A = this chain, B = another copy of it.
Amino acid sequence: MDVSSLIEGVLAGDRRAVARAISMVEDGARGLAELSAGLYPHTGQAYTIGLTGSPGVGKSSLAQHLVKQARERNHAVAVLAIDPTSPFTGGALLGDRLRMQEHATDRGVFIRSMATRGHLGGMALAAPEAMRILDASGKDVVMVETVGVGQAEVEVATATDTAVVVVSPGWGDAVQVAKAGILEVADVFVVNKADKEGAQEAARDLRHMLKMGPASDWLPPVVLTSTVSGEGIDELWDAIEGHRKHQESTGDVLQKRRDRLLNEVEGMAAQEFRQLTRGALEADSELARSLEQREVDPYRAAAILLEWASTPDPHTGS
């Protein structure tokens, strides 16, 4: 399949074309620029939701419940699970199959996990590209779910219209949330496993800490959920909808989307620049040797790389 047929397929909502296009992002394939050019004019319709939280708090189950909520409201919905699963467990594919089973015959649902090791920009650049493919394919709601709760994962999950941070009573208390630096970036908090001991306390602590934070026109709601009993899922959907309406009324949603896009383009250009200058720093290059010998320090070496890149022909330039 060539890229132009692939673009047609994605725009028609063809599942195999969408899967194929996301694999291209995953692998950092050559045709990505052409794919992006063809799809980009057809993006901007989907509302995006990010889900982040430590491994084991129940993000995937929550995503499943949110898919049901979306379908009940007749929204076409996609879930993108950013999954750095080790190549020797093969968990991603197995997980996909399990997740898809329930929705196998529903053409309004697309679930896909994505490893990002082939993409040179890592998950920060791969995720928004994949989300645009899902947007262009006609999904009304695109959810992105990360494994883990580090800086990169939080950046990916908050590069969405509504960022949902999930904790569980077993995971640790609200102080851990503060330590992880995710208190300020959440639009909605979920305390999952609401049936477990300590859930009410975790929710209370979170609410307390959020109130101590800087004043803002949006105070993130804290929702208690149980993915076993289904408790709180309606409230979670309402909280997300509430945030959507709030920022659509203020115009913040468009402003945030523009800022994210500019930031992403800067990151893409920096990544390309990195590729361009790679040759100058090969292991046997003079610059690498000077660095190793400690004749040139890292800052100076970086400055030399920048000069090298802006010389019209780097191979003959001074």
Residue numbers of A with Cβ under 8 A of B are 32-33, 36-37, 39-41, 43-44, 54-56, 83-86, 88-89, 91, 122-123, 129, 147-154, 170-172, 175-176, 178-181, 183-184, 209, 212-214, 258-259, 261-262, 264-274, 276-278, 281, 283, 288, 291-292, 294, 297-303, 305-306, 309-310, 312
Contacts and interface: CB of A to CB of B under 8 A. Distances in A.
Given A147-B179, A261-B291, A291-B261, A298 B266 contact: no
Query: What is the oligomeric copy number?
Result: 2
**In this complex, which of A39, A213, A265, A291 has the most chain B Cβ atoms within 10 angstroms of its Cβ?**
A265
B86 A184 contact: yes
A86 B123 CA distance: 23
Nearest to A183: B86
A84 B178 CA distance: 9
A262 B85 CA distance: 26
A240 B149 CA distance: 27
7 contacts: A36-B299, A40-B298, A56-B171, A84-B151, A262-B283, A269-B302, A272-B303
Nearest to A173: B56
Nearest to A88: B213
